[in-house]
Amino acid sequence: MPKVMLLGFRCERCEHEWFPRELEQQPQTCPKCKSPYWHRPRKVDISEENRVTSAWTPHALDGKTVEYNLARGKKSDAGFGFFSASDLGDGTMQIIIRPITGEPDIKLIQDEADLIKTHQGKYRFSCFSRS
């Protein structure tokens, strides 16, 4: 049976997921909790290791496709997904990779954020950590 990927939005505050009527426009508020900050995680919920600085702006990364292969100790995460980048307002940001396969989100640390590069081909960015 063929699989179809549908693009939608997820509220960073209440975790609500929805499909917009118009994909080109970013929603003003979350339809469930009505928060206008639905695309920004709460500052208290972000650990210090996930507060990163990058040469890329959140706007340049948010929603873009990425091919990744991240070595974390003995564990390795590899695949394709989308970036979710949020400006935290203090000169740092949080960068998350949302895998296409539906696996859990990957929150990048500073060493991994430094490895983000543009990618020639289907995926706009790549993030490959050294093993």
Instruction: Tell me, yes or no, whether 61 and 110 share the same domain.
Output: yes
Question: What pLDDT, in 10s, does the model give residues 11-54?
Answer: 888 889 998 887 778 889 999 999 998 887 776 677 788 889 88
pLDDT band at 63 (very low <50, low <70, confident <90, very high): confident
Query: CA-CA distance, 15 to 131, in Å (whole number)?
Result: 33
Residue-number span of the structural domain to which 20 is assigned = 1-39
How many structural domains are present in the chain?
2
Going from the C-alpha of 20 to that of each of 49, 66, 87, the distances in angstroms are 32, 22, 23
Asked if 35 and 52 sit in the same domain, the reply is no
Indicate whether 23 and 80 sit together in one domain.
no
- Are residues 92 and 30 part of one domain? no
Cα atoms in the Cβ-side hemisphere of radius 13 Å centred on 76? 8
Judgement on whether residues 64 and 89 belong to the same structural domain of the protein: yes
pTM of the model: 0.66
